[in-house]
């Protein structure tokens, strides 16, 4: 087409030049050129007619092509159930394709964001694709480059089909009645549990049409789909409250734990996951729901009851035999504590050092790395001559030099490498054993060959001292060591007020018989005047949150962890206060120490901030942050937490 136009233009130029030449010839030679001019004029006129006809033909052809293209686009949009929308600078709709008129969605002239406010992010470029629901129809909406054109694609059929597949995916669950065997002391208790606890649980699952099967007296197996699970999730697993309420009425210590595994078509994988999750719930004290989707982290609900003490001595004896066998088959033992070791951590480490030496194995304790709290550091300095003659205290590097493939590394009072005072040892160790009284984290960054965790125990020292009588060998604990162990239990229980059971006092009695002196321990727990001032400053900095919670923060000085904990305990003695959060800088990082009287689950809050602990005693530590930043984050988490549920029913809030 361009060639034709060029040819016509070339001929026109020749005609014009010829006419000019004839005029010049006439003027110069006075010759008659009228005939030639007439012929040239006729030729030019004909050329003009041809040019106009060509342009007219081209315009018609273009209109035909445009019409065909428009029909093709319209047809393509109709076939693909799609529509186009054009808007102006003010986000006002200026044109809508046929799809919208067919579906009675003619909003031309209106603001797009007024009609569909969920498209704001798309218009701002924050997202490339959005899904909107209009009159029960689902549309995938995308923006076409920088042009003010939006494509709507009807994906209702695909969306509903996908949702049907997702809703129909299998979810496996396990239900466990916590403390069931220990609580069934007589026929009346059994009858009460069957009528007032088990029957409501069965009715609850029937309400959601969930298939269940009784595995044994204290356990159920559940099978359901995602839709049924989501309905139960929306209900916030209210059956936990029902069981807790009925158990309280009947003065029975039975609670409910549930585990749900999702996100896989492999039923064996889901079954194994559900088994591990119910064990996780049990190790964290029960009275909670644990949910995990394949490839994602576990999510916790509930956990508002303190772990119950289990009176079984069989487990302690079995654990003693297991630990003894592990140590006997080891070349040596390395005992590691957590960062800033406290009295409980030191006491448990000394006890396991005695345990290992009693069966003839060399043992060392990592204390020269990661820090020791000032109070217990002073006690160890006071007893240095005795302790150093009986125990081998080393740094992490020294421990690494003693590590071989057959070394057993024992973690006391913690179970994560991230909080350990010997992380390099754990990374290189082939065999790790854990003895701890904190609720278990969902994901471990170590792989222990033994995991001995009792969330109901008052302290790790309590757990380790319980092992000694089952050694079947004569063990030797000096009064100085017994004092440190007693001190560890005394401080962790706030002088035998918090989280104590009959076993706690049994261990305290045993330590007294080994030479521990409560009066001496009380003196050892005393602090210098400057630490008392620091504790008072923390208490003075507190402010009340939601009437029954105190948040205290001090940022202009370094404060030992033990002082932060003591300040939190002191705040709990204030009338009407159920929980205390203390935010301070320590020597190495910024921490939150959280305490409660049992009415509020501080562990839930700390785990939301990637910390951990117990229902009534928890905390976290952070590097590269400030006290004010951490306090602001804490308040944000608390605001979000309490906005989800009524305060009096906080047990159903996701951890």
What whole-number distance in Å separates Cα of residue 90 and Cα of residue 607?
A: 46
Of the pLDDT bands very low, low, confident and very high (cuts 50, 70, 90), residue 25 is low
Tell me the mean pLDDT in the region 415-422: 90
Q: Is the pLDDT higher at 16 or at 392?
A: 392
Characterize the bridge pairing of strands 129-134 and 137-143: antiparallel
Lowest mean pLDDT among 7-16, 372-381, 527-536: 7-16
The 3 state secondary structure assigned to 294-306 is CCCCCEEEECCCC
Q: Are 123 and 92 in contact (CB under 8 A)?
A: no
- pLDDT exceeds cutoff 60 at 536: yes
At residue 652, the pLDDT reads 42
Of the pLDDT bands very low, low, confident and very high (cuts 50, 70, 90), residue 655 is very low
- pLDDT exceeds cutoff 90 at 405: yes
Q: Is the pLDDT higher at 133 or at 33?
A: 133
pTM value?
Answer: 0.59
pLDDT of 356-383, one tens digit each? 999 999 999 999 999 898 889 999 999 9
- 433: helix, strand or coil: strand
- pLDDT exceeds cutoff 70 at 15: no
At residue 447, the pLDDT reads 85
At residue 78, the pLDDT reads 62
Q: Which residue has the tokens 């994901």?
A: 443
Tokens of 337: 């504590």
pLDDT of 299-339, one tens digit each? 888 765 555 555 567 778 888 999 999 999 999 999 999 98
pLDDT of 165-193, one tens digit each? 777 789 999 999 988 877 777 788 888 88
At residue 73, the pLDDT reads 57
Tell me the mean pLDDT in the region 3-10: 60
pLDDT of 46-69, one tens digit each? 766 766 666 665 555 545 444 444
What's the start-to-end Cα distance of the chain, in Å? 73
Q: How far is CA 136 from the centre of its chain?
A: 33
By CB atoms closer than 10 A (0-12, 13-18, 19+), residue 624 is: exposed
Q: Are 341 and 421 in contact (CB under 8 A)?
A: yes
What whole-number distance in Å separates Cα of residue 138 and Cα of residue 154?
A: 6
Phi, psi of 311, rounded to the nearest 5 degrees: -85, 5
The 3 state secondary structure assigned to 572-583 is HCCCCCCEEEEE
Q: Are 483 and 458 in contact (CB under 8 A)?
A: no
Instruction: Catalogue the long-range contacts made by 523-532 (C-beta closer than 8 Å, 24 or more residues apart).
Output: 524/375, 524/379, 524/382, 524/483, 524/487, 525/375, 525/487, 525/490, 525/491, 527/374, 527/375, 527/563, 531/374, 531/560, 531/563
- pLDDT exceeds cutoff 80 at 385: yes
Tell me the mean pLDDT in the region 597-625: 85
Q: Is the pLDDT higher at 617 or at 284?
A: 617
Q: Are 297 and 607 in contact (CB under 8 A)?
A: no
At residue 500, the pLDDT reads 84
Q: Is the pLDDT higher at 587 or at 452?
A: 452
At residue 345, the pLDDT reads 96
- pLDDT exceeds cutoff 90 at 435: yes
Q: For residue 641, what is the enclosing H or E element?
A: helix 627-644
Q: For residue 549, what is the enclosing H or E element?
A: strand 549-558
- pLDDT exceeds cutoff 50 at 114: yes
What whole-number distance in Å separates Cα of residue 292 and Cα of residue 273?
A: 8
At residue 6, the pLDDT reads 63
Q: Is the pLDDT higher at 126 or at 594?
A: 594
Of the pLDDT bands very low, low, confident and very high (cuts 50, 70, 90), residue 650 is very low
Of the pLDDT bands very low, low, confident and very high (cuts 50, 70, 90), residue 213 is very high
Q: Is the pLDDT higher at 72 or at 595?
A: 595
Tell me the mean pLDDT in the region 609-633: 87
At residue 354, the pLDDT reads 96
Q: Which residue has the tokens 């487990």?
A: 315
Tell me the mean pLDDT in the region 448-465: 90
Average of per-residue pLDDT values in the chain: 85
Q: How far is CA 92 from the centre of its chain?
A: 41
Tell me the mean pLDDT in the region 272-290: 84
Tokens of 348: 């448990």
Tokens of 584: 């301070």
By CB atoms closer than 10 A (0-12, 13-18, 19+), residue 605 is: buried
pLDDT of 470-504, one tens digit each? 988 889 999 999 999 999 999 988 888 877 888 89
Q: Is the pLDDT higher at 11 or at 617?
A: 617
Of the pLDDT bands very low, low, confident and very high (cuts 50, 70, 90), residue 646 is very low
Q: Which residue has the tokens 């370094």?
A: 558
């Amino acid at each position: 087409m361009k060639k034709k136009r060029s040819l016509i233009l070339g001929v026109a130029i020749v005609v014009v030049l010829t006419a000019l030449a004839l005029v010049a010839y006439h003027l110069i030679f006075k010759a008659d050129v009228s005939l030639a001019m007439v012929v040239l004029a006729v030729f030019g006129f004909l050329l003009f007619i041809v040019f106009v006809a060509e342009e007219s033909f081209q315009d018609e052809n273009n209109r035909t092509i445009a019409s065909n293209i428009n029909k093709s686009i319209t047809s393509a949009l109709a076939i693909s159930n799609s529509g186009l929308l054009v808007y102006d600078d003010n986000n006002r709709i200026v044109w809508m394709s046929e799809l919208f008129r067919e579906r009675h969605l003619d909003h031309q002239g209106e603001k797009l964001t007024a009609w569909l406010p969920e498209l704001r992010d798309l218009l701002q470029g924050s997202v490339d694709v959005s899904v909107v629901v209009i009159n029960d129809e689902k549309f995938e909406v995308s923006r076409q480059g920088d042009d003010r054109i939006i494509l709507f694609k009807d994906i209702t059929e695909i969306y509903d089909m996908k949702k049907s597949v997702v809703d129909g995916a299998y979810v496996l669950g396990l239900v466990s009645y916590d403390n069931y065997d220990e609580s069934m002391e007589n026929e009346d208790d059994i009858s009460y549990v069957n009528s007032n606890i088990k029957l409501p649980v069965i009715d609850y699952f029937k309400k959601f049409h969930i298939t269940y099967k009784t595995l044994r007296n204290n356990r159920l197996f559940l099978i359901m789909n995602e839709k049924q699970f989501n309905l139960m999730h929306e209900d916030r697993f209210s059956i936990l409250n029902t069981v807790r309420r009925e158990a309280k009425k009947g003065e029975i210590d039975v609670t409910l734990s549930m585990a749900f595994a999702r996100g896989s078509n492999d039923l064996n994988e889901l079954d194994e996951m559900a088994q591990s999750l119910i064990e996780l719930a049990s190790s964290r004290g029960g009275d909670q729901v644990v949910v995990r989707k394949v490839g994602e982290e576990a999510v916790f609900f509930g956990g508002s009851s303190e772990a119950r003490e289990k009176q079984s001595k069989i487990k302690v004896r079995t654990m003693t035999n297991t630990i003894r066998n592990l140590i006997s088959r080891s070349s040596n033992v390395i005992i590691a504590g957590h960062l800033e070791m406290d009295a409980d951590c030191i006491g448990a480490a000394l006890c396991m050092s005695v345990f290992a030496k009693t069966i003839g194995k060399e043992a060392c304790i990592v204390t020269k790395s990661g820090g020791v709290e000032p109070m217990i550091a002073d006690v160890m300095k006071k007893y240095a001559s005795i302790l150093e003659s009986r125990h081998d205290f080393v740094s992490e590097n020294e421990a690494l030099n003693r590590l071989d493939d057959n070394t057993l590394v024992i973690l006391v009072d913690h179970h994560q490498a991230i909080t350990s005072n010997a992380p390099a040892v754990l990374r290189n160790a082939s065999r790790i054993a854990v003895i701890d009284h904190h609720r278990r984290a969902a994901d471990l960054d170590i792989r222990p060959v033994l995991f001995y965790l009792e969330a109901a125990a008052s302290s790790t020292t309590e757990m380790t001292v319980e092992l000694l009588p089952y050694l079947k060998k004569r063990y030797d604990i000096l009064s100085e060591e017994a004092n440190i162990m007693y001190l560890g239990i005394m401080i962790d229980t706030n002088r035998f007020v918090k989280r104590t059971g009959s076993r706690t006092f049994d261990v305290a009695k045993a330590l007294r018989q080994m030479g521990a002196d409560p009066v001496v321990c009380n003196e050892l727990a005393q602090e210098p005047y400057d630490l008392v001032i620091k504790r008072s400053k923390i208490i003075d900095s507190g402010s009340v949150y939601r009437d029954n919670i105190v948040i205290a923060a001090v940022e202009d000085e370094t404060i030992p962890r033990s002082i932060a904990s003591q300040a939190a305990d002191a705040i709990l003695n204030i009338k009407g206060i159920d929980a205390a959060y203390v935010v301070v800088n320590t020597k190495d990082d910024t921490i939150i120490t959280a305490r409660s009287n049992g009415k509020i689950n501080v562990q839930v809050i700390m785990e939301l901030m990637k910390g951990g602990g117990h229902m009534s005693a928890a905390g976290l530590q952070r590097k590269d942050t400030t006290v004010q930043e951490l306090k602001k984050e804490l308040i944000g988490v608390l605001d979000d937490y309490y906005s989800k549920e009524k305060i009096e029913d906080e047990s159903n809030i996701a951890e």
